[in-house]
Amino acid sequence: MQIAELEYKSIQYRRAILSSIAHAGAGHTGGSLSCTDILNVLYNHVMRVDPRNPAWSERDRYIHSKGHSVEALYVVLADKGFFPAEKLKTMNRGGSHWVGHPTRKVPGIEQNTGALGHGLSVAVGMALAARMDGRKHRVFTLLGDGELTEGSVWEASMSAAFYRLDNLVVIVDRNTLQITGRTEDVMALEPLEERFTAFGYAVRTVDGNDVAALVDIFAQTPFAPGKPSMIIARTTKGKGVSFIEDAAEWHHHVPTADELARALAELDQAELRWQERYATITTRHSESTGLF
Amino acid sequence: MRPLQLGIPNQQVFSDTLLELAKRDRNILVVTSDSRGSGRLVAFGKQLPDQIVEIGIAEQNLVGVAAGLAAEGKCVFAVSPACFLTARGLEQIKNDVAYSDRPVKLVGISAGVSYGALGSTHHSLHDLAVLQAINNIDIVIPADNFETRAAVLAAISHPRPLYLRLGKKPMHHLHAPDADFTIGKASRVRRGDDVAFLATGETVEIAVQAADLLVERGVGAEVLSIHTLRPFDEPAVLEVARRVQAIVTVEEHSVYGGLGSRVATLLMQAGVTPSLRIVGIPDEYTYTGSQMEIFAHYGITPSGLATTAEALLEGKRMAA
């Protein structure tokens, strides 16, 4: 998918994320908006998946280890056609499978997550199985930066390097905030690049809210033969809406009707700017995606 | 009664059986946490190096990686001391295996007080309680070499997450080689109509010896090996509970949350109330010693269990 199209999708995904969280009355607004561009690029440009056949054996695997940001994943999977977009309106409703953290009851989701520090180990197991069987698909997983204080992340990292899993791509959504405040104030993570390098990853840092930069960095994976790839995606929590950006209190704050209206108005402006920038292809994409 | 014949440790039967099966099926994998020695998997590792995944001393990662391998269709046995596997790795068992419905075979070795005098860090007296409170994980605790081999054979194609609880001491043979074994069906080892021992794992052979003592004293004693705690064989337990005067449950586990609790819950709710005594490790700082010394301290001996059963029957007679 072209950069212009990806950028357009990110705007529409952010609309749907905010609208579905407001509709559900619950959700993780900040972290979903910070990883929107990463999921967009993964599902629309990088990974091989087949929404009509979610269990296709040659698909690339994706594990959403930062499970609380499930709204972003639901929106992207709905847009890909894994399930009808109408399901987004059942989020958190009694009896719905579209609950506040991912489960395999939802088509397209590989693994139940939500407790932090679990996804990377499962991804290591999947990547190891692919290697044992000589299969070519890859395994991707997205971790939150707050999640990195879980010791199991470092257990899993040791094994990823030990087994030389260059079919594994780990992305950290480095938005520098967790529920209490700055990661560096809660429990410092830096120097993160050096720490991951010491644990055996080939590490790159990228602007995780720049789809062009993400497309470019994913194209370079694996970064080194025989090493798992680590992408530190520097993002802004709440990206795309001025009053939500970089604010710890928006970790799981739900937009009020007024806040939603103001947020969507900002995204309207973002779409206008997008149209000006890509005037020649505007007509193709100016319609709503119908996600929400 | 003919004395019971001594076999080998159930853990050895497990590894012998698994090696035999894995030689014929490359899809069978062992994942281990620096536990090849206690797991008796040194031969497996030497003969099938491509089918053993070493994780190091990292039980959380052990279970998570096992779940990922199982997600890709591997037949995975995650082998680690029961004390660490079901405590350190508990959240991974709950979420990555049970909740995510990955048919991993979790093998808790040197379970209960097998490690004896190594102390309470190395005892697993909580594992049955915590795993029974987690949905979607079957629990199998073989009593002897026969049940262990049958359980491993059944585990290969078992469609759900499974916990297999094994000990390290040589076990006596309780079953004929052509006996039936089905996960979820209790196995009758002795038949009697006065008192019943419902026992599990390495305590079953002690219950059998207690039953044989009672028979010499004119008391009919039944012994069921409850080798599966989930799915629990409710019909078998209810049938025996309606037939006998008294039930003694026996387990190498806390008296809370294990077999005894499961039996009591069933019987009370069914309105079937023979006299009941739950024998296990009580709620206290566990006595120090070898497995056999700990068993003896808590009355898990042939004479201790026989005395417990007779006291229950006597109480029943006094009350009548």
B67: nearest CA in chain A? A122
Name the architecture of domain B187-319: 3-Layer(aba) Sandwich (3.40)
Q: Please determine, for residue A285, whether its predicted confidence score (pLDDT) is greater than 60.
A: no
Collect all residues from B whose CB is shorter than 8 A from any CB in A: 50, 53, 55-56, 58, 60-61, 63-74, 91-92, 95-96, 99-101
pLDDT tens digit sequence for A172-206: 999 999 999 999 999 999 999 999 999 999 999 99
Contact criterion met (CB < 8 Å) for B68 and A129? yes
Which domain, by its residues, includes A245? 3-286
- The answer to whether domain B6-172 has CATH 3.40.30.120 is no
Domain count, chain A: 1
Q: From CA B144, how far away is CA B139, in angstroms rounded?
A: 16
Asked whether residue A292 is assigned to any structural domain, the reply reads no
* Residue A124 contacts B where some CB pair is shorter than 8 Å: yes
Contact criterion met (CB < 8 Å) for B71 and A126? yes
Q: What is the CATH number of the domain that holds A70?
A: 3.40.50.970
Portion 129-148 of A in contact with B at CB < 8 A: 129-130, 132-133
pLDDT tens digit sequence for B224-265: 999 999 999 999 999 999 999 999 999 999 999 999 999 999
Q: Do domains B6-172 and B187-319 have the same CATH topology?
A: yes
Query: What Cα–Cα distance (Å) separates residue A33 from each residue in A44, A238, A272, B317?
Result: 17, 5, 19, 72
Contact criterion met (CB < 8 Å) for A125 and B91? no
Asked whether residue A109 is assigned to any structural domain, the reply reads yes
Q: From CA B172, how far away is CA B206, in angstroms rounded?
A: 10
Contact criterion met (CB < 8 Å) for B95 and A114? yes
Asked whether residue A28 is assigned to any structural domain, the reply reads yes
Share of chain A above pLDDT 90, in %: 95
Q: Please determine, for residue A138, whether its predicted confidence score (pLDDT) is greater than 60.
A: yes
* Residue A65 contacts B where some CB pair is shorter than 8 Å: no
Contact criterion met (CB < 8 Å) for A126 and B69? yes
- In chain B, domain spans: 6-172, 187-319
Contact criterion met (CB < 8 Å) for B100 and A104? yes
Task: Say which residues have a Cβ less than 8 Å from residue A46's Cβ, sequence separation at least 6.
Answer: A60, A140, A215, A218
pLDDT tens digit sequence for B190-220: 999 999 999 999 999 999 999 999 999 999 9
